[in-house]
Amino acid sequence: MKRLAHFRMKTWLSCCLLAVAPALMCDAQGAKPASADGIPRLERRGEATQLIVDGKPFLILGGELHNSSSSSVAYMKSVWPRLTAMHMNTVLLPVAWETIEPEEGKFDFTVVDGLVEDARANNLKLVVLWFGAWKNTYSSYTPGWVKTNLTRFPRVQTSDGRDTERLSPFSAVVRDADARAFARLMHHLHDVDGERHTVLTVQVENEVGVIPQSRDHSEVANAAFAAEVPQALMSFLEKRRASLNPELRAAWEAAGGKMKGTWQEVFGKTPLTDDLFMAWQYATYIERVAAAGKAEYPLPMYANAALIRPNYEPGQYNSGGPLPHSMDVWRAGAPSLDFVSPDIYFNEFAYWASEYTRPDNPLFIPEAQGGVTGAANVLFAVGREKAVGFSAFGVDDQGNTPLDLVGITNPAEHIDSGALGAMYLTLSRLEPLVLKGQETVGLSAALLEGDAQRAARASVGEYIANVARVGAPAAAGGGRVGALFIQTGANEFLVVGSGDAMVTFSADTPGPPVVGIESVDEEFFENGAWVARRRLNGDENSQGQALRLHASDVGEGRIYRVRVYRYK
Ligand code: DGJ
């Protein structure tokens, strides 16, 4: 906090010195600088928690780089223009511990500075991913002086006593070295960006957890596992009992709902208990790292999760990561994190997105599929779950080569890899309306996933929008249809679609039950405004009975303005 006080003093002084332009630099009392007010922060506004940047809500339309791209400023030179061509406003990029502290105590921020400068030159914001002690459970991004000294920096061990390539989250030495480096990074970011706000938020570590066993079996870990569950966690769970994640609550209650006892006594003798135990350890470790960083520069911070494939057990997936069943453990252990995030590569996007949307956890998706799949998913994220942002992974590729992520996704779905960029362009043109709408019930979205799902509904204002798939899934944008509804008047909506679908409306409030379509106009963005072109009727809107969305809408930048009315 010392550093914050220094920041305030410094900017207060510049306020006084720049008294010639008080309206620009200071608030009404002249006490606080505009730049201090503008530090990115989260704020509850109506129905949504939003990211506020320079005093205004900001919607992250982002893309994450491949893991190695941002290790070189020179390599990135040719990448930036491709990112802006995708119409994203924010780039998520790793900053590795090995890059900034190659020798212990000697910091080098040349790469960080180059990235921040070039992001600004390309009019892009950044989310910095701190690849500190862990990246995808491994410790591969740690500097050589950490990696090679197993005595000083101990590892997670297997049950037969072997070291793994994962630093131990039980080691205070590891934690403090990680926290020191992270604090230096945040200190530096404050110095170079505390007033410009190019960096919006920071991810602390990357997809933590242990594999292939469900917990660390080192001596210190075994001792902690045999000890009682920390009282701090028990009190948190007790206070939040009614709103706990159902799986966590069920495990606790099945074991007798005890307020005291070892991990297995409190949560049962199951692999899930190992996961919860590791979750507490990673969360409390990351708490110390995040808090050290926030003391230097309090940007919003989060941790991301690799999700679970169906029927996988802890250890087959990252045991201890911030997953839905352990989210309460993470909230208790890491209050300095503003939220935890899912990396959603799986096809059940709506399910995972909603699992991470809670009153105490705004949704931000740092990694997801791009292409036509992403174009539909982003509508659901920002419209239905009121996400602060969405980001596709591996965007250095998008726009030229199709993206296949570790065999999870269907490469065929990425044939139109420019679709997400086109959708970002449309969304950026609608951004003020989307952000305002997030505060109200006048914004929602529907998503159709998988071949079997033929219809979905979205409740928007006094109406329900019913979205039904048209044609075979393959013809409808890789089997996925997204539709975003923005209420612009009591009976008027803007509709953004991705995929082939038919939309009808029904009433969601008492009153005349039948909803008719008064008119449908297609609109395009021309010279800074949405301009109506054709009035769609007859064959184009099922004789006035429905709004027809087309897979080509995304690429052509078409949206629809629909007016409805009610009768008996
Ligand atoms: C998830 C990780 O968080 C990313 O850094 C990257 O490794 C992707 N998986 C896929 O390659």
Question: Does pLDDT of 38 surpass 90?
Answer: no
Q: Summarize the confidence of residues 214-242 as an average pLDDT.
A: 97
Distance CA 300, CA 545 (A): 46
End-to-end CA separation in angstroms for the chain? 63
Query: What is the tens place of the pLDDT at every residue in 356-367?
Result: 999 999 999 999
In the predicted model, is pLDDT for residue 282 greater than 60? yes
Q: Which pLDDT does position 417 carry in this prediction?
A: 63
| DSSP secondary structure letter of residue 88 | -
How far does the centroid of ligand 1 lie from the alpha carbon of residue 6, in Å?
Answer: 38
The residues that bridge with 526 in the sheet, in sequence order, are: 529
Tokens of 475: 């013809």
Residue 13 has, within 13 A of its CA and on its CB side, a CA count of 5
C-alpha distances in angstroms, 508 versus 372, 463, 513?
Answer: 31, 5, 9
Q: What is the pLDDT of residue 272?
A: 98
Beta bridge partners of 58: 51
Q: What is the 3-state secondary structure (H, E, C) of 476-516?
A: HCCCCEEEEEEEEECCEEEEEEECCEEEEEEECCCCCCEEE
**CA of 372 relative to ligand 1 center, distance in Å:** 20
> How does pLDDT run across 52-82, given as a tens digit for each residue?
999 999 999 999 999 999 999 999 999 999 9
Token pair recorded at residue 535:
């009035």
The residues, ordered by sequence, that sit 6+ positions from 41 with a Cβ below 8 Å of its Cβ are: 51, 52, 298, 300
The answer on pLDDT for 492 being more than 60 is yes
305's tokens: 């999760």
Average pLDDT over residues 292-296: 98
User: Does the structure show a pLDDT above 50 at 476?
Assistant: no
What six digits make up the tokens of 339? 């939220």
Q: Whose CA is nearest to atom 4 of ligand 1?
A: 67
40: left (phi over 0), alpha (psi -120 to 50) or beta: beta
Full-model pTM: 0.91
Across 70-93, b (16+ Cβ under 10 Å) vs e yields bbeeeebeebbebbeebbbbbbbb
User: Measured from the CA of 304, which atom of ligand 1 is nearest?
Assistant: 3
Asked if 558 contacts 512 with a C-beta cutoff of 8 angstroms, the reply is: no
Q: 3-state DSSP: the chain helix, strand, coil percent, rounded to 5?
A: 35, 30, 35
| 345 C-alpha to ligand 1 centroid (Å) | 10
pLDDT score at 441 = 94
CA distances 48 to 148, 207, 328, 384, 389, Å, are 46, 26, 20, 11, 12
206 Cβ inside 6 Å of ligand 1: yes
Q: Which of 128, 406, 408 to mutate to test the pocket of ligand 1 (most atoms within 8 A of CB)?
A: 406
| CA-67 nearest atom, ligand 1 | 5
Look at residue 246 and give its three-state secondary structure: helix
| % of the chain residues with pLDDT over 90 | 85
* Ligand 1 pocket mutation, candidates 207, 302, 364, criterion most atoms within 8 A of CB: 207
What average pLDDT does this structure show over 380-408?
A: 76
238 Cβ contact partners less than 8 Å away, ≥ 6 residues apart: 259
**Res 11 pLDDT > 50:** no
Q: Which domains does the chain have, with CATH numbers?
A: 58-438 (3.20.20.80), 443-567 (2.60.220.20)
User: Residue 405: CB within 6 Å of ligand 1?
Assistant: yes
* Cβ–Cβ < 8 Å for 67, 58: no
- Would you say the CB of residue 542 lies under 6 angstroms from ligand 1? no
Residue 264 to residue 228: CA distance in whole angstroms: 9
Q: Spell 276-309 as b/e; 16+ CB within 10 A means b.
A: bbbbbbbbbbbbbbbbbbbbbbbbbbbbbbbbbe
In the predicted structure, residue 257 carries a pLDDT above the cut 80: yes
Percentage of the chain exceeding pLDDT 70? 89
Measure 405 CA to ligand 1 centroid, in angstroms: 8
Query: Does residue 369's CB lie within 6 angstroms of at least one atom of ligand 1?
Result: no
pLDDT, tens digit, 9 for 90 and up, residues 298-355: 999 999 999 998 899 999 999 999 999 999 999 999 999 999 999 999 889 999 999 9
Predicted confidence at residue 474, as pLDDT, reads: 59
SS3 436: helix
At 220, the amino acid letter reads: V
> How many angstroms separate the alpha carbon of residue 539 from the centre of ligand 1?
46
Mean pLDDT score of the chain, rounded to an integer? 90
Average pLDDT over residues 282-299: 98
Please give the backbone phi and psi of residue 453, each rounded to the nearest 5 degrees, phi first: -80, 110
